[in-house]
């Protein structure tokens, strides 16, 4: 069976935002990448989910094929860009997935447009939420969680074990992360400057899956578990043997966990 694929750009706020859709039918699944990727980094998810539903991937400003002429890439503009993509596609309700940086985006979109998110998947991300328990979890980070990316196959968003076991795929991850103009030295501080409080957490009443690698050095599992405790209807799943990007490192396990969560949602 041939699965349809469509690509395009949305003109929004003076920028061109790139998107792809694959498949059709069902509740759309929208995947928002992290600072180490772009739309293509989801290649191990798109085919797995598009057999029976529409899957949307897109590029944040300055990542992949999206422009960032105004140098504003970050959470203050990302949610609006995502909403612009969904508007062009006529999507009024969807399951939203955000990996790391993308977590800030989907949380921002869900808060800005109540009723949009049937569910949220917050993957190795805090999405801007903070609490004493989350801060305590973050205190478990290693002294240098980023490490050095100047080695073939080495990347702070990948577990060291993965880089050693699969240097070819680790190198691919490195290459994908460098396809764009965004400067992580500027984007990451913009992320950390945007936070959400407990009152905003209580507004996210939809089912939420908080999923994380058990060896994530950037957002340790304890901080992600604390996020799940903060949200009204959240569950926590841990992917063993993975760092900050289990969707890339162990896609079979990650996809299975996300599918089980999505299939459990009624309505």
Q: What are phi and psi of 185, to 5 degrees?
A: -65, -25
Kindly state the average pLDDT of the residues 31-45.
96
Q: Which two tokens mark 194?
A: 């945007």
How many angstroms separate the CA atoms of 199 and 28, rounded?
A: 28
For the chain, the first-to-last Cα distance in angstroms comes to 28
Span 229-246, average pLDDT:
96
266 pLDDT band (50/70/90 cuts)?
Answer: confident
Residue corresponding to tokens 């205190």: 139
pLDDT digits (tens, 9 = 90+) for 17-30: 999 999 999 999 99
Prediction pTM value: 0.95
Residue 227 structure tokens: 């996020």
Among 114-123, 143-152, 213-222, the range scoring the smallest mean pLDDT is: 143-152
Distance CA 179, CA 38 (A): 8
Task: Find, among 73, 25, 75, 30, the residue nearest to 51 by Cα.
Answer: 25
Q: Where are the domains of the chain?
A: 5-263
Architecture per CATH, domain 5-263, reads as 3-Layer(aba) Sandwich (3.40)
Q: What is the pLDDT of residues 65-113, one digit of tens each?
A: 999 999 999 999 999 999 999 999 999 999 999 999 999 999 999 999 9
**Average pLDDT for the chain:** 93
């Amino acid at each position: 069976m041939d699965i349809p694929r469509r690509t395009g750009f949305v003109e929004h706020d003076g920028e061109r935002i790139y998107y792809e859709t694959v498949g059709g039918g069902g509740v759309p699944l929208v995947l928002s990448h992290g600072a180490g990727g772009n739309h293509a980094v989801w290649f191990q998810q798109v085919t797995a989910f598009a057999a029976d539903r529409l899957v949307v991937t897109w590029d944040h400003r300055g990542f992949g094929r999206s422009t960032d002429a105004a140098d504003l890439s970050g959470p203050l503009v990302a949610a609006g860009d995502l909403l612009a993509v969904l508007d062009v596609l006529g999507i009024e309700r969807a399951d939203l997935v955000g990996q790391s940086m993308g977590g800030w985006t989907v949380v921002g979109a869900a808060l800005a447009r109540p009723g949009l998110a049937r569910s949220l998947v917050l993957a190795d991300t805090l999405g801007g939420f903070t609490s004493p328990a989350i801060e305590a979890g973050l205190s478990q980070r290693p002294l240098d969680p980023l490490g050095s990316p100047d080695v073939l196959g080495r990347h702070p968003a990948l577990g060291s074990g993965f880089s050693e076991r699969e240097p070819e795929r680790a190198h691919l991850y490195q290459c994908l992360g460098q396809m764009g103009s965004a400067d992580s030295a500027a984007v990451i501080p913009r992320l950390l400057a945007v936070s959400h409080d407990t009152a905003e957490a209580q507004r996210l009443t939809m089912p939420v899956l908080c999923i994380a690698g058990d060896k994530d050095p950037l957002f340790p599992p304890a901080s992600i578990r604390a996020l799940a405790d903060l949200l009204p209807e959240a569950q926590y799943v841990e992917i063993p043997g993975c760092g900050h990007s289990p969707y890339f490192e162990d896609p079979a396990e990650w996809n299975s966990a996300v599918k089980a969560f999505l299939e459990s949602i009624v309505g």
